[in-house]
Amino acid sequence: MAKKTFERSLQELEGIINKLEQGEITLDDTIKKYKQGMELANACANMLKEAEQQISIYEGNEFIPFNGGGNV
Amino acid sequence: MNKKIISVTELNCYVTSILDEDYMLNSIWLSAEISNLKYHKSGHIYFTLKDENASINAVMFAKSAATLNFKLADGDKINARCKISLYEKTGAYQAYIFEIEKQGVGTLHESYEALKHKLNAQGLFDNKKPLPKYPQNVGIITSNTAAALFDILNVATRRNKSIPIYIYPAAVQGEVAKDELIQQIKRANRDNIVDVIILARGGGSIEDLWSFNSEELAYAIYGSKIPIISGVGHEIDFTIVDFACDRRAPTPSAAAEIVFPDTKEIYNKLDAYKKTLSLLAKKKLTTNRDKFEYVVDRPAFKQINKAFEQKMQYVDVLTDRLQVITQTSINNKIYEFNILLKQLEKLSPIATLSRGYSYISKDTQIVSKLADVQIGDDINIVVQDGCIMATIINKERKNGEENI
């Protein structure tokens, strides 16, 4: 998948914060990193937005939606 | 003496009550050999327990039979925990079996300890794979009717709805359990959809959990590329699976708590990160501005500034001076030029002509001596506004000397 995983994005965000905390970058880079970090934080938050959990069950050689045991 | 007459039913009922009241007969371990074994399709198992001299009918009902982790066979020497009661229909007293151990294999606990020791020595409990902190897809291997499954789903839905769940159903007790569990672990690895597996089962007796004490299952877990967390039984229950898994949770719900990161916590974390980002960026800006102001305020910088201003002023002065000098020098040159021009004009024959003089030329040569011309030559007399053509008719030397 081309989509960045949640974990990767979060790690990247943490890396940016670490870099900013060390403070040894230019003002220009600081602003760049700040923007990048904010975008990552928002992207992470968006990845968590799901109204309903997708639950599938393996049945008869394939995954079908699980409807609370009614499949049995 | 009055005869007290009772029915057979009443008798059997009475005998049953006497047997049931007996504390010892309610739970007793019998050492015996199995014979007349019959697996009924209802799930109940009927057989006779015997030794050299005696025998008793026995029944193991389906519920208890399901906990058997091996198949009974005629001639098996076993220890059976049972209660003794009456089968009122025939008046035969019989053993109602709860659990069976094979003799010679030792107790379940002993074999559990032996297996644990063996697998540990083989390194099966080493090489723990880390669980993903934020799994993308979660697999659950358990019975699709078990409370354990619904416990896990409840926790998942409460904590994090964004993670898709894949259920690999498997029996979690009885003879087929071990093979089904192994099959689903292998299937999940083949599918390679999930990045963590919860292997779960609700609480039960050591017999109920016996499928989770299998050597083959331990090897399947060890061979799984996908990390597996166990949530088997209650907190106090330990199985071989718990040791073989990459992590052990005390219960199915606890396993779900570990696997599913709480969305609320992540949101809080992200908010905190955003605040930190803003704070750090602001700090950098403030630091830079302070630094700038600090430098600007420092006497050294002020001196530099002053020196700079003074130099600027000096440059202005110089510029002005340069302008003055340049202008003066130009003016001087113009003046000198005019003087020269005037001198030049004085030298020019044209100017002389303008004063009434003229000059004579012959074939573009200036005539200045008598010898320059011969009588009869054509000459040009140049005057101020033109040229007069003439012919030499005579020549006369100064002081009345002779003609040449």
Instruction: Return the CATH architecture of domain B108-263.
Output: 3-Layer(aba) Sandwich (3.40)
pLDDT > 70? residue B403:
no
Please give the average per-residue pLDDT across A33-40, as a whole number.
89
B8-103 with B108-263: one CATH topology? Answer: no
The class of domain B8-103 in CATH terms is mainly beta
Each residue's pLDDT tens digit, B91-147: 999 999 999 988 865 566 778 888 999 999 999 999 899 999 999 999 999 998 888
Which residues does chain B have within 8 Å of residue A72's beta carbon, measured at their own beta carbons?
A: 144-145
Give B397-401's long-range contacts (Cβ < 8 A, gap of 24+): B397/B370
On whether any CB of chain B is under 8 Å from the CB of A14, the answer is yes
Q: Which residue of A has its CA nearest to B169?
A: A58
CB within 8 Å of chain A, chain B residues 173-212 = 184, 187
Q: Where are the domains of chain B?
A: 8-103, 108-263, 352-391
pLDDT > 50? residue B390:
yes
pTM: 0.56
Residue B191 has a pLDDT of 94
Which residues does chain A have within 8 Å of residue B134's beta carbon, measured at their own beta carbons?
A: 5-7, 10
**Highest mean pLDDT: which range of A13-27, B166-180, B357-371:** B166-180
On whether any CB of chain A is under 8 Å from the CB of B272, the answer is no
Please give the average per-residue pLDDT across B71-93, as a whole number.
90
Residue B243 has a pLDDT of 93
On whether any CB of chain B is under 8 Å from the CB of A65, the answer is no
Residue B244 has a pLDDT of 95
Residue B1 has a pLDDT of 62
Residue A1 has a pLDDT of 33
Please give the average per-residue pLDDT across A51-67, as a whole number.
88
**What's the mean per-residue pLDDT of chain B?**
87
pLDDT > 50? residue B304:
yes
